[in-house]
Structure 1
Amino acid sequence: MRRLILSTATAGLLTAPASAEQTALRNGEIGYVLTSLYWSIYQSDDNSRDCPNGFNSGPRQQYEALFPSDGPAPSIVDARLDLEGQTWNPEPGDDGFPFYEPQGGIARGFDLDGQATEEDYRSPEGEPGIDNQLFRTVGCIIGFRGPDGVEFIFENKAIKDERYNRLMLHLEDVDSLENDPEVTVTVYRGLDRLLTDASGERVVPGGSQRVDLRWGKSLIRELDGKIEDGVLTTEPIEDLIIPWMNLSVPSFQQIKEMRLELALNETGAKGMIGGYADVETWYRQLMRNDSTHHLSNGDISAISLYKQLRRTADGHPHPETGAMTSISTALDAEFVQVFINAPDETKVSSRTNGESPSESE
């Protein structure tokens, strides 16, 4: 079994409680609430090594290349409106601009298909067969890279600032957070704000959350899992719908064949969510939340990005055309312990139902 390599920050998150009386594992149950979620983008300490060809160009640079400022002035219809139309109604193909992919052959993620091919990566720990084509797509777009990328900053900020992105895990039938061959994990959407320290920046364990049964009932999922050496792994389920808000615009992501790998203890959890992101959902979420104006701040050309998504998509072929409709990915996730107030009517087996969440709340 693969072992998670925990960083110093992870070790700080997973500090055990001071005494048995403070235990959060009660009657074989413990809850966790999401505090951080972002696409797994492997970065070394040298951008020129990760992206030796440089970073991909954004809307402003591409507009200047297509319509030079020292050339004839184009009409608004032929220039700005045409590009905006392509942005909201993209098609596969070539846009005439080079697209730079990350180099080095290393990525974080899962072996989703049980194969090791030339398209696959090795994990930082050396495990072969890692499927993360989304990293191949966004790894050399500056707006997606930390710590200063616009997507990196704002997508996590929304988790603390808004109640919309309130993903929770409820573990049941847990004999031990160190080793247990069979546990049940239920995914809920919560209703309440996160409990923070006096600064308002650090989310602390021990808060409570109600379960959203109005907008979030269709999002409930149940997974079979096990815990080995403090690491929870789960069997894949058909899909997970993740409420996803950025810049105050409600949206969602759909992760197919979703599975978890999380290092656990009584104060928190940290690890990865893996699977295949639905390409159209992924792209529409980005556009609904950001638009060309905001994407320009991160040099993110939506047109070029969509075409690369279609080139690198590697999952769930369309039954008629054979075109791949999803793309392998992983998300880095952090949780803190929370007490989940789940009414009896939430106890339903919902391993899949395929419904999308409402975007009203």
Structure 2
Amino acid sequence: MTSAHRAGIVGAMYGRNFRMELAGAGFLAGALALVLAGAPTGAFAETRGYVISMVHTATYANTDTCPDGYNGSLADLKVRRLVRRGFSEEEAIAILANGGVDRDGNRVALRELPELDGIEVNPGNVPVLVSDPRIHTAYGRYAYGFNLNGRVEPDAFENPDSGERGVDNQMWRALGCFEVYQVRRPVRPYNEDIAWDTALDAMPAWLMSITGDDLDGDGEVTVTFDRGLNVAMRDARGGVLSGATYVVDPDPRSHSVFEGRIDNGVLTIEPGDFSIQGESQFYALLRFTGTRLWLRMAEDGSASGIIGGYQPWRDYFHYLAIRGEENAQVDLAGVYYAMRRLADGVPDPETGENSAISAAYFLEAVPAFHATLSGEVVAESVGPGPLLSGPAVQENVTLDPE
């Protein structure tokens, strides 16, 4: 068994006690690794490690979000499909209530698949075969995100927490009027909640580290994102365990480094490119250009806030298409056309069509050790972490921490 394997197993089993087991032996090698990685090298520089416990679309459902109407739930989508096929709305509702059987006892297909050369094609694969249903899109005063273009436009949002104006979040416009996205944290969109909860037990963990001279005070820092080689560890409540150890994947495809600052307990970064490999059924790839980050550092060692930027809009559509309309609970063709129409970043050099859309995601992280393949500790877990984290937050929203 290699030292890397021992590091992962011992850290996962004993959490914060792993620091005592390996830190002494790996200190010099870990410090050298940090220098080679380009981290700050001040006399008192330290690196704290984290594992991402939750990522999901930054929703903000409000009374003024959908002034023109809502796109409804999955049941509403099915009713509209049947109406387009010639049934009255009353007949469509009756068919759905009767398990897809009409009043004459005939089973009615609830799917609506376009044809290509006489072959039925899923709209998730070829959405342009379906005419644009012109779904309702979100407006309103508030939405989470960042002012990515530096302008305060009349229809831009305002961040409800920070008060930042000129917030660009066109992805929220495209998604916000579907019932599944009409939620506020700690409640998460159903489709993303299921996908993330599943991914935690199958996908290599997503990691973050912060390096600086005084991480408890204000000052410049370096923020690094990587993917782990082991999956996230659960705690007894079903959340993500604080103090576990993760071996950092050296694959550069999931390595992103940003210069940043901590001011009054809030971490921000200078804009740059972000990319991390995921897994199918969740985000196969999460990436942004012009990436922004706003995280509040908690006393228990955890961090929570928002990450965002210009995301290739087809990346998110691909995630929805994999889920399918039944699980995603959206009109796939409607989302495709809306995202294409609302995309506001990274124009294609040949067509001029925007290939990316402004987007924002809630991000939460808990303390974790990071180690190299050789077992060297390169980031320390600091703090006990929160009582509830990741999927456990929504499932235990009424739990009294006392």
TM-score by length of 1: 0.75
Q: Which residue of 1 aligns with 2:196?
A: 156
Correspondence 1:50 to 2:91? no
Aligned-residue offset at 1:244: 4.6
Q: Residues 202-213 of structure 1 correspond to what in structure 2 (within 5 A)?
A: 202-213=239-250
Q: Which residue of 1 aligns with 2:260?
A: 225
Correspondence 1:270 to 2:309? no
Work out which of the residue numbers 229, 241, 245 in structure 2 matches 1:191: 229
- Root-mean-square deviation (CA, aligned residues, Å) is 3.2
Work out which of the residue numbers 367, 371, 391 in structure 2 matches 1:337: 367
Q: Which residue of 2 aligns with 1:279?
A: 313
Aligned-residue offset at 1:148: 6.9
> Structure 1: which 5+ runs fail to align?
1-16, 347-361
Q: Residues 31 and 92 from structure 1, CA distance in 2 versus in 1: closer, same or farther, beyond 3 angstroms?
A: farther
SS in 1 for 2:194: helix
SS in 1 for 2:309: strand
TM-score by length of 2: 0.68
Q: Residues 250 and 312 from structure 1, CA distance in 2 versus in 1: closer, same or farther, beyond 3 angstroms?
A: closer
Correspondence 1:102 to 2:142? no
Q: Is the 8 A contact 1:102 1:139 kept in 2?
A: yes
Deviates more, 1:329-338 or 1:140-149: 140-149
Percent sequence identity over aligned pairs: 26
Q: Which residue of 1 aligns with 2:153?
A: 117
Work out which of the residue numbers 205, 215, 219 in structure 2 matches 1:176: 215
Q: Is the 8 A contact 2:283 2:316 kept in 1?
A: no
- CA distance in 1 between partners of 2:338 and 2:304 (Å): 30
- CA distance in 1 between partners of 2:241 and 2:274 (Å): 29
Work out which of the residue numbers 34, 57, 80 in structure 2 matches 1:39: 57
Q: Is the 8 A contact 1:187 1:220 kept in 2?
A: yes
- CA distance in 2 between partners of 1:345 and 1:225 (Å): 28
Aligned-residue offset at 1:85: 4.2
Render the CA deviation track for 1:206-229: whole Å, top value 9, x for unaligned. Answer: 11111123xx43211111111111
- CA distance in 2 between partners of 1:202 and 1:148 (Å): 15
> Structure 2: which 5+ runs fail to align?
1-15, 24-43, 92-105, 377-402
Q: Which residue of 1 aligns with 2:272?
A: 237
Q: Is the 8 A contact 2:61 2:181 kept in 1?
A: no
SS in 1 for 2:135: coil
Q: Is the 8 A contact 1:232 1:262 kept in 2?
A: yes
Aligned-residue offset at 1:50: 3.0
Aligned-residue offset at 1:320: 1.4
Q: Is the 8 A contact 1:187 1:219 kept in 2?
A: yes
- CA distance in 2 between partners of 1:271 and 1:79 (Å): 39
- CA distance in 2 between partners of 1:222 and 1:148 (Å): 28
